[in-house]
Amino acid sequence: MRTVGVEEELLLVDPDSGEPKALSAAVLARAEAADAEQDVFEKELYGQMLEFATHPQTDMAELGAEIVRCRKEAARHAGEIGCAVAALATSPLPVSPAIGMNHRYQWLAEQYGIATREQLVCGMHVHVAVESDEEGVAVLDRIRPWLPVLVAISANSPFWQGKDTRYDSYRSRVWDRWPSAGPTELFGSAERYHRLVADMVATGVILDEKMAYFDARLSERYPTVEIRVADVCLHAGTARLVATLARALVETAAREWRAGGAPVDHSVSLLRLAAWQAARTGPGAELLHPHTMRRLPARSVLRALLDHVSDALADTGDLEQARELLDTLLTRGNGARTQRELMERAGSLREVVTECVRLTQE
């Protein structure tokens, strides 16, 4: 059974005002002092962000429980220095990001200018184990059209600098400002994948292979495919759903490859349109069907995803749980819908952040 690990980026906020606070260094120091062996939390580009990484898991219930534990630990360490954590993919309130002072971060600020200063966004990355680079690239080629559906499920960033963007996932639109971000063409082989990444680095436009910010890529650190399209999810159950579907997509793609099945050859232009549609409306309206690239009700596309990976889900014992989590999502809505409903009730973005701090740890 393939292992799965999750990285989540959390927003550090003032518990009273809801405004982001650049206190990640202090929170990390607290975490290290509490347990130097744990090594769960990591520094990010901005002082207002805190990242954690779970251990690789085969049991999705245990992965979900670890996500909750890490969120609670992050909240505890943050609370000790007077701030809080919120699983928000963008700050609802206006913010001026504080960029870290190390060489890499300063290079990004100099190279990309305002695009770097406006990149305070929080994502969720899912690592799924693969047996080899060749299998990994075969997976990348075959999961491409399904990734926008994960964007819709996870979408949790409707507000930007104090205003409603009318997008469910504005984070994904901001993220696409990086020159190396977004969907990729078919690679066909691991050799072609690595040659493309090397050629990109050789241009000097990106610093190194870590900056190949593809929607999904081979991890440079682990023997995994890293799926990078999701917003950090407000509800931990949604994060578990995304991770469960990600593993099933990888397993389904690997089986197709071993059986000699060819990947769907959609152009990058069509994949960008599918990603835009998913970011704009989430699961509440219409999405582009991954096979036809035509609009259908989002519920139909979500059910198509579940059908596509049902064999893999059944083999790992996750099918019924995935159905339940998807039903919950369709009933409650994603994080963007929750945020908008909170805003409608409270009339205050500060109250939206305060309630999201609570929901982050549920």
- Please provide the DSSP assignment of 173-218 as one string: HHHTTSTT-B------SHHHHHHHHHHHHHTSSSSSGGG--BSEEE
The boundaries of the domain holding residue 168 are 4-360
- Give pLDDT tens digits along the chain (362 positions): 999 999 999 999 999 999 999 999 999 999 888 776 567 898 889 999 999 999 999 999 999 999 999 999 999 999 999 999 999 999 999 999 999 888 999 999 999 999 999 999 999 999 999 999 999 999 999 999 999 999 999 999 999 999 999 999 999 999 999 999 999 999 999 999 999 999 999 999 999 999 999 999 999 999 999 999 999 999 999 999 999 999 999 999 999 999 999 999 999 999 999 999 999 999 999 999 999 999 999 999 999 999 999 999 999 999 999 999 999 999 999 999 999 999 999 999 999 999 999 999 88
Q: Bridge-partner residues for 354, per DSSP?
A: none
**Identity of residue 17:** S
**Identity of residue 212:** A
- Please provide the DSSP assignment of 115-181 as one string: HHHT----EEEEEEE-S-HHHHHHHHHHHGGGHHHHHHHH--B-EETTEE-S-SBHHHHHHTTSTT-
**Identity of residue 302:** L
What's the total number of domains in the chain? 1
**Residue pointed to by tokens 């059910």:** 303
pLDDT tens digits, 188-210 = 999 999 999 999 999 999 999 99
CA distances to 17, 31, 71, 267, 278 from 332, in Å: 27, 34, 21, 34, 17
Q: Enumerate residues 6+ apart whose C-beta is below 8 A from 47.
A: 12, 22, 23, 24, 25, 97, 98, 99, 100
Rounded to 5°, angle at Cα 245 from 289 and 172:
65
Closest CA to 153 of 249, 55, 45: 249
Entry pTM = 0.96
Query: d(Cα 70, Cα 8) in Å, to the nearest integer?
Result: 9
What CATH number should be reported for the domain holding residue 64? Answer: 3.30.590.20
Rounded to 5°, angle at Cα 198 from 197 and 201:
90
133, 320 in Cβ contact below 8 A?
A: no
pLDDT tens digits, 168-190 = 999 999 999 999 999 999 999 99
Q: Bridge-partner residues for 51, per DSSP?
A: 9, 42
